[in-house]
Amino acid sequence: MDNSNNFESFTCPIPIGKRNEVSIGHGSGGSLTKSLVDSIFIKYFSNDILDQGNDFADITPVENTNDFRLVLSTDGHVVSPLFFPGGDIGRLAVAGTVNDISMSGGIPKFLTASFIIEEGFPIDQLEKIAESMKKCSEEAGVFIVAGDTKVVEKGKADRIFISTTGVGYVIKDLFINGTKAQPDDSVIISGTIGDHGIAVLAARNELGFSTTIISDVAPLNSLIQTSLKAAPHIHVLRDPTRGGVATTLNEIALQSNVKIVLDEEKLPIHKQVQGACDILGFDPLYVANEGKVLIIVPNNEEDAVLEALQKHPLGKDAAKIGVVESIENYPIVLMQTVIGGTRIVDMLTGEMLPRIC
């Protein structure tokens, strides 16, 4: 945080504010900022590094850099509504960045969090979000080591936005990235698709009917480390968030210069998600996920990774959904449909569901 945090001896604590709302003064960098930081962020995030109370966090590597490389990732979070079935913006902010780091095959260690808050935002909601971030950080085994708080006038932001950045370590010789997909590789998804997008839509009351779908938002680092143990030659890991499975596979096809062929019949889709998509005219392949990973792996490790995934609580619905083939004219994603045809699965154009993450 921009202010020092370990002021136990300070004899005149200033109350957060009279109205239980975030005020412009809470973003001043002065004593009101300190009271907000202490009473909410330090209360939940406290750890030895954060509590140093400087403008920087000293994260002296715990890993020897002869054995590990360092990876870095950032994400802004603007989801609306802030609270939805299965999660909230706090859980999303922690899990989202933990997952981006995990897609390198690496182990996330440290997070930073930058809060931009609208004047008048209820302190009790801020506390719920901080508590959720703490819980998710514990699940993922990461520490929030630095933060920042800004407050803007009423009407100049939509309640709260959170940007998180993560630092992680990856084993020196492990190079997993979007360029590594090869012909004959298998394409695996760790579970049902589209749950997050439909859960957020339901929370917005945009479905016109009720569902029991909950968001899949979860930190995937443990699932991925389990997969890597079972299948050490994984080529690509990527989480199909905004733009969904279709957009993510198109990115990989382009980066690796390959053709990817999906089998529609094999796509794991929750019945209620499929039902909601049918009514709304959405394709679940484009709906965002926040707790799923696409794994592209040599076919001789396909069984091992599927077995490992299915034993993990976050991977029980894992399935092989396609294969990588040699490029013909240009990188492309195709799908063999249930009625026996083949169609092109394009990248998302425009926007189907804004502010889903």
Looking at residues 224 to 243 of the shown chain, list those that interact with a second copy (rule: CB under 8 A). Answer: 238-239, 241-243
| Footprint of a second copy on 239-268 (CB under 8 A) | 239, 241-243, 247, 251, 254-255, 257
Q: How far is it, in rounded angstroms, from Cα 142 to Cα 99?
A: 12
Please work out the total of residues on this chain that contact a second copy, with binding judged by CB under 8 A.
Answer: 97
E strand or H helix at 76: strand 68-77
Residue numbers 303-322 binding a second copy by CB under 8 A: none
Q: Quick one: 218 or 306, whose CB is closer to a second copy?
A: 218
Q: Least CB distance from residue 199 to a second copy, whole Å?
A: 17
Residues between 23 and 42 with contacts to a second copy, criterion CB under 8 A: 23-25, 27-34
Q: In angstroms, give the least distance from the CB of 136 to a second copy.
A: 18
Among left, alpha and beta (phi > 0; psi -120 to 50; other), residue 240 is beta
Return d(Cα 150, Cα 118) in angstroms, integer: 9
Q: Is the CB of 192 or the CB of 248 nearer to a second copy?
A: 248
CB nearer a second copy, residue 341 or residue 354: 354
Distances (CA, A) of 118 to 90, 126, 147: 16, 11, 17
Beta strands 332-336 and 342-344 are antiparallel
3 touches a second copy by CB under 8 A: yes
Q: Which residues contact 182 (CB under 8 A, 6 or more apart)?
A: 235, 256, 258, 298, 324
Classify strands 143-152 and 107-118 as parallel, antiparallel or unpaired: parallel
Specify the residue, 2 or 303, whose C-beta has the smaller distance to a second copy.
Answer: 2
Q: How far is the CB of 339 from a second copy (least distance, A)?
A: 26
Binder among 16, 40, 104, 218 for a second copy (CB under 8 A): 104
CB 181 within 8 A of CB 296: yes
CB 207, min distance to a second copy, A: 19
Site string for a second copy, 135-164 (x = CB under 8 A): ----------xxxxxxxxx-xxxx--x-x-
Distance of CA 214 to the CA centre of its chain: 15
Residue 276's CB: how many other CB atoms inside 10 A?
25
Q: Which residue from 92, 101, 160, 217 is in contact with a second copy, where contact means CB under 8 A?
A: 101
Q: Does 178 bind a second copy (CB under 8 A)?
A: yes
Residues contacting 313, CB < 8 A, separation 6+: none
> Does 98 contact a second copy by CB under 8 A?
no
